Structure 1
Amino acid sequence: METKRSHYYLIVDLEATCCNNGTIPRHEMEIIEIGAVMLNRATWEIDSEFQQFIQPVRHPQLTAFCTELTSIQQQDVDQASRFPEVISNFKEWIYSSFPHYVFCSWGNYDKKQFIQDCAFHNVPYPFGSEHINIKEEFSEYLGVSKRYGMALALNELGIELKGTHHRGIDDARNIAAIYRQMKTQKPS
């Protein structure tokens, strides 16, 4: 029987409210999409996916910059539930089928944004202290100090970017493809 916490890699990518003119300070950014996949450590296949939009409350109107960057439309977030309900759905998805996982993301941004939004909404942080920064591991995998963006990392590995860049669920799938290759093939 498998009891290791890391039987699955929970690969998460978040999109958040943003702007290019300073009208939304970093500490007021809010998650507007959670995209996540469960990458099976034994098969290296994605066993399940989670995607939900979130209605922001601090800056409910998406900026043109945010919409252009993420392709997330105002009606997507207007019709969405708020953070406490979505995080509850997310936890239910995780714990109903995948109790043995480790939280992973491309860089530390996603972890910090979860911590910030949980604190703002007075919701317990849903993950343990363990977090894998795949961006850091990717540089180690290549043996370089350079930090790659996700799209550049895909290109470096010869993997085609699938879906829309800066959409949580698509980026989570692409990060899973990077991690699968890192874990199953030696760098060239």
Structure 2
Amino acid sequence: MHYVILDIEFNGRKFASDLPMEVIEIGAVRLDDKLQQTGTFTALIKPVYFAKLNKFIREKTGITQEEIDRAGRFPDVIASFIRWLGPPDSFLLVTWGGEDLKRIVLDTRMHRLDDSFWLAVRYYDLLKGFLRVHDLKSDVSVERALEMLGLPAGEHAHRALGDAVMTAGIFRTLHDRLDLDQFRQYKDTYSNAKERRMVKSAIRTMKLRGAEPDWDTIAEHFLKDKIDLANEKKRDELKAYFEAEINK
């Protein structure tokens, strides 16, 4: 069994749009069972939408427009990445949060490619593992985690391979304290972390007021006009999250 530490960059935007964000860079580090680095993968991807990078992305990542213009398209890059990875049962993917794998799945589907490889991949959310080890409730960045562990920050933060290398350092440091059996496989979600935190906060507020939390009250008084509860899949998912929190 070996480990692949993954990081991506995507062309986020600061304005509302129905057009999707896309992966523009993939970086990965392969570690053997002794946690020694045995390989790396790095590639830029030319997006279909927002192919002209905005100033925020250029300044954050250091990726130039010229580099993106020369980059390969997603289908070719992702095929090369899958060949580099090998069979999905031969490695454990390690990510900082669940967004990176989600973005790859969404882009795979956008390009009408087969997503079965990514649905079969097992991944471990190192951010959640870090929070459990340190008994923290709020998310932290890779840079903050490095600081807390006394590890040096890399020279190429906010580039996919540089961030993957830094994340690999965190993984090595915490490896013996992590329960790697708590891996996951990708599952479609319709709510985001912020919306789930709103549900959790509403439960806490009702309890502080001496009231017994119930879904209808939370939906009407805490979530209405803040979350699109007309979206049936999102509503059902948040209701299930509410019930799971109550049962804890």
Alignment of 1:1-188 (within 5 A): 7-19=1-13, 21-22=14-15, 28-40=20-32, 42-95=33-86, 100-125=90-115, 126-127=117-118, 128-184=120-176
**Number of aligned pairs?**
176
Mapped partners of 1:182, 1:173: distance in 2: 15
**Higher helix proportion:** 2
For 1:65-90, what per-residue CA distance to the aligned partner results, in whole angstroms no more than 9, with x for missing partners? 11001111111111011000000110
**Secondary structure class of the residue paired with 1:28:** coil
Kindly tell me: are residues 75 and 24 of structure 1, through their superposed partners in 2, closer, same or farther at Cα, counting changes over 3 Å? farther
Conservation of the 8 A alpha-carbon contact between 1:18 and 1:24: no
Where does the alignment leave 5 or more consecutive residues of structure 2 unmatched? 179-248
Kindly tell me: are residues 129 and 51 of structure 1, through their superposed partners in 2, closer, same or farther at Cα, counting changes over 3 Å? closer
Q: CA deviation at 1:146?
A: 2.5
Q: CA deviation at 1:59?
A: 1.2
Higher RCO (Cα < 8 Å, 6 or more apart): 1
Between the two proteins, what is the percent identity of the paired residues?
28
Kindly tell me: are residues 10 and 33 of structure 1, through their superposed partners in 2, closer, same or farther at Cα, counting changes over 3 Å? same
Q: What TM-score do the two structures reach when normalised by structure 1?
A: 0.87
Q: CA deviation at 1:130?
A: 2.0
